[in-house]
Amino acid sequence: MPRPLNKDEEERLGRLAQEWDRLYLSLRTAPVAKKIQAFRQLEKRFLKEMRTAAGKRQVQRRLTGAFLMETCAGPWRRFSPYLRRMERLGYSSMDDRLLVCGWAAQAARGSPAGLRRTAALIADFERRARIKPPHPAAREQVEFSLARAKSLIGLDTEVAE
């Protein structure tokens, strides 16, 4: 099990979130390539500040989430390298897995490889959710998000009897 972050690194992650928010707002109308470049610079700076492997990995996960969010509206080939990166780093939570399912469904349009990969992500999420079901208060939102992702990739075409 990974070692928890120390108080100093938790504070750095809080600063990262604040700086990311400011950067995101300042670049809201910028092209995706410019946003990615700016997020990479932010990541590089914060990776230098983190002292532990767990802290560095958390910075990478958070910025990879930003990369995925920014590239999901574009083609699969732009999105997929960041998906592979997130899978390599590991997901922080089931919430992150669910977000990635939705983003992948958006990015998969028009890509047979993207559709297959997204269907596999959704199936993996559902399998994990059966093992450890979401909190009852979140269940409706999880079901809605999964249904939307399935709809985007055409998995909702099955006729319910």
Domain boundaries, the chain: 1-71, 78-154
Tell me: pLDDT of 3 over 90: no
Q: CB–CB of 38/23 below 8 Å? A: yes
What is the pTM (predicted TM-score) of this model?
Answer: 0.86
Band of the pLDDT at 126, cuts 50, 70, 90?
A: very high
Band of the pLDDT at 15, cuts 50, 70, 90?
A: confident
Mean pLDDT of the 6-30 span: 88
